[in-house]
Chains A and B, each alone.
Chain A
């Protein structure tokens, strides 16, 4: 599996993602400039990552302009063909704007940007990024956003639950999912979801910030390891 990390003007977690995928996990990573129009060289066995940051300054609305970048057309097509697309923070916002994921990310209920460690309960192992994580396992992964309150209409939320598309919920250190653990007013404590086809996933917390022993937290690596192992498993099948 090869990774492509899309750099939009204003992306600022692109280097972090490339560092984790390339230097820490020793995988092939290609930096993709948003002005390019095709994903030549990528197959649907590969993964395109939309990193965090403030694409186009988050002007108008987070992710609203980036989704019209020339490369996004190719990314949308890639996703429709079954390729893996992983959006983190601003990347998640862009995926929702591009309608590759349902719902939207609204301004935090307390109206402030917030950056801190949060605890996430792994809801399902039925996704490439959670396949290697036992359901119920609590991960410590930090957030850093002002617009991370997941919102969708009741029918969509119900569908997400029915289809097992909610990947992570904010929780207490002991795994309790409650209002006190909800950092931004997000619906059903949702921190991350996948699409119905399970090849597109988005989350507000930053696993790339929790993937190195030197930084004192490796919980985020479990997601990348899952993705890679899942691919390996299907490749040998």
Chain B
């Protein structure tokens, strides 16, 4: 069917998501009325996703420098950290929330594909992946459907692509009932000096498109649903991309092989906004331009319109600027891997992107004004403290009754979806391919991935308890950073840098923006204290659900993906109890603090309460002492106290070591608060009796509280001389509760 592109006016611009002010600026930049294709280019490049227009002002306040950083935040497709020995680690986390909520299988699958492409487009080989997932109420049919779809989508893509999923987190909370969060992190290794930049240097150099043909998938359905825009039916334009992990595996191997030829000047994968984004970002970075022949782009359908080719988010594609005269080296390699590689244009010195079709110019736009850091708009939104914060002050823990049956309460917590093992989910991911996963057989708080060809290992983790962040975005986000660092330190690693995935509601809602601004402040404060600069990441706004006809934003969820290094992989610290009679201590002060605990939420139905106790300096001192204890080989296990409190922490160490324990609570403190409270900055360690004096001597020199809880003992859990039952029973609850709940109809 022959259709014509609409005449451009303000209404059309608004349908494409631009506001009146932005539309005026585009006319000013162009010096004329843009045509529809040009307007489409501006609309996607100035979208929140590409331009960060509502967040960049605050993101720039984060610490983004450090001795180990080889590229600055936002400079390349992912952060790059020097890990020593001539090696660097490229890592990044990204969201794929909305596609996953619409079509969980493909949404999650393409999220995985996209983040890995960001890593290997830099020349790094992905060696590990982590998944941070947030779902709604576990008992809803919709949640079960989304869990099933997302998990099989992640598995489908990651397992075939051949990169292990080594860690991550899964939370269930009603606030995500409609809008789930799917955040995927990829970690890759590259030799320093062998990376590839997303640049378009050298006018005259050929521009190649490699990989899958370009189809109509991923062109945002909502934007094009209006009949004013096109007479094609919206059903023709699937909003969610379809992934092909086999194609991506070929693209990975071929790209890494192609880099070795030295014939690649620059390379960028095609993700959001497809050809538009890669051509404009590469050109803007080099101060060059490009002349692109859209009719040379291999397409899946006949008669695709210029804007469709430009905006398509078809997966598994790369844009390469080759060195003129050496293209044949690249053609040979892509041919070996049976991948399509087409010459579609040239780098120019005009600073403009000129797109041609059948000899006619269909769009001619300047590159720089399109991109972040160039001419893309930057906004400062209004913010206002959310009204729910007043309710927090009214919370009174003394109204919470102590449980009459501690064992039953402990079981309830243990079986709850935010505490129980996520085995049902993670066993569907290949966690061991590439044979680097050290934490499979020796579990640690962070996942440990050895780096072949060196004696090093990486410690990687994702963390964010969004209930804490909702209660207090500033402190809650500091806790997310602190917990990530604590997990790495407890695993024997040194935290070095973070990537973040900032999942929030609508930025035009002042209360949401207040959460965002304060979360960023907290993240900055914590990252500065731990010397873990931000290497990049992703902002996902507009995450919200409708409740009783009211739109509610999801909990503010600034997921932290942290990278740590073990210079000697042998220094890994594990979390399992090792031997009978080992002495169990808790480091850090335990306070009578029930705030925002799983216990309050699960057992007492208190959805919102203040953030648990946290002090940045206390945390820093705790982590320093744990590092020292590991260095001096004074402890044999370390596990941080998090959701579910001391009880869950002890039980996890017990199950991992297949050994029970005998411990005491603290007289004068509520037993529920002692066992299930989640006050921060605490680690449970076990110590050989023979090393106990040395351990205590070291602790005596430190300003970190150190309390003996008991000892590793037998095969049962014994608290205050009461037998809570055999480890085996607890393991059954832990291992199977979530699966049973997800499979229940």
Contacts and interface: CB of A to CB of B under 8 A. Distances in A.
B482 interface: no
Interface stretch (A174-182, A196-204, A214-222, A225-233): A214-222
A20 interface: yes
A114 B427 contact: yes
Contact of A115 (B338, B432, B441, B442): B432
B433 interface: yes
Given A54-B246, A115-B427, A12 B440 contact: no
B160 A10 contact: yes
A209 B432 contact: yes
B44 to A, nearest CB: 30
Interface in B411-456: 427-438, 440-442, 450, 452
A195 to B, nearest CB: 27
A15 interface: yes
A9 B152 contact: no
Given A54-B249, A57-B246, A144 B435 contact: no
Given A54-B160, A54-B249, A214-B569, A144 B442 contact: no
Given A56-B246, A209-B435, A216 B440 contact: yes
B246 A10 contact: yes
A97 interface: no
A66 to B, nearest CB: 12
Given A57-B160, A215-B435, A113 B430 contact: yes
A142 B337 CA distance: 30
Interface in B229-254: 244-247, 249-250
A216 B457 CA distance: 14
Nearest to A7: B253
A117 B155 contact: no
A116 B441 CA distance: 10
B162 interface: yes
A214 B450 contact: yes
A2 interface: no
Interface in A110-125: 112-117
B246 A144 contact: no
A46 interface: no
B162 A12 contact: yes
A19 B430 contact: no
Contacts, number: 94
B245 A20 contact: no
Contacts of B583: none
B434 A115 contact: no
Contacts of B569: 214
Given A54-B159, A56-B246, A113-B155, A216 B438 contact: yes
A164 interface: no
A115 B249 contact: no
A13 B249 contact: no
B431 A53 contact: no
A142 B155 CA distance: 17
B161 interface: yes
Given A54-B160, A112-B152, A215-B437, A19 B452 contact: yes
Given A9-B250, A57-B160, A115 B431 contact: yes
Nearest to B249: A10
A113 B432 contact: no
Contacts of B429: 113, 115
B441 A216 contact: yes
Nearest to A24: B435
Most chain A CB within a 10 A radius of its CB, from B427, B428, B433, B436 = B433
A211 B435 CA distance: 9
A222 B715 CA distance: 32
B237 to A, nearest CB: 26
A203 to B, nearest CB: 16
A208 B249 contact: no
Per DSSP, chain A at the interface is mixed
Contacts of B250: 9-10
A9 B160 CA distance: 11
Given A9-B338, A208-B435, A116 B246 contact: no
Contacts of A112: 152, 155, 428
Contacts of B336: 35
Contacts of B441: 117, 215-217
A12 B125 CA distance: 13
Contacts of A13: 162, 433
B249 A116 contact: no
Given A9-B338, A115-B428, A144-B159, A214 B433 contact: no
Nearest to B165: A115
Given A214-B569, A215-B438, A216-B438, A144 B430 contact: yes
A215 B160 contact: no
A77 interface: no
B297 to A, nearest CB: 24
Interface centre among B249, B337, B432 (most CB of A within 10 A): B432
A58 B160 CA distance: 9
B437 to A, nearest CB: 7
Given A57-B244, A214-B569, A217-B441, A142 B427 contact: no
Given A10-B160, A114-B427, A16 B442 contact: no
A53 B162 contact: yes
A35 B432 CA distance: 28
Interface string A45-79: 00000001110111100000000000000000000
Most buried by B among A20, A113, A217: A113
A142 B440 contact: yes
Contacts of A19: 435, 452
Contact of B433 (A9, A56, A144, A215): A144
Contacts of B440: 117, 142, 215-217
Contacts of B435: 16, 19-20, 208-209, 211-212, 215
Contacts of B245: 54, 57
Contacts of B337: 9
A217 B438 CA distance: 10
Interface in B268-296: none
Nearest to A52: B433
A116 B427 contact: yes
Nearest to A56: B246
B428 A12 contact: no
A29 to B, nearest CB: 15
A206 interface: yes
A131 B654 CA distance: 37
Contacts of A209: 432-433, 435
Nearest to B337: A9
B571 to A, nearest CB: 12
B249 A12 contact: yes
A58 to B, nearest CB: 7
A26 to B, nearest CB: 15
Nearest to A13: B433
Contacts of A116: 427
A206 B162 CA distance: 14
A179 B741 CA distance: 23
Contacts of B436: 215
Interface string B694-729: 000000000000000000000000000000000000
A217 B155 CA distance: 24
Nearest to B442: A216
A58 B429 CA distance: 16
Interface in A77-123: 112-117
17 contacts: A9-B249, A10-B160, A13-B162, A35-B336, A52-B433, A54-B245, A57-B245, A113-B156, A142-B432, A144-B432, A144-B433, A206-B432, A209-B435, A214-B450, A215-B437, A216-B442, A217-B441
Given A9-B250, A53-B162, A209-B433, 16 more contacts: A9-B337, A10-B246, A12-B161, A12-B162, A16-B435, A54-B159, A56-B246, A57-B245, A58-B160, A112-B428, A115-B429, A115-B430, A214-B450, A215-B436, A215-B450, A216-B438
The 5 closest A-B pairs by CB, nearest first: A12-B162, A57-B246, A216-B441, A54-B160, A16-B435
Interface of B: 152, 155-156, 159-162, 244-247, 249-250, 336-338, 427-438, 440-442, 450, 452, 569
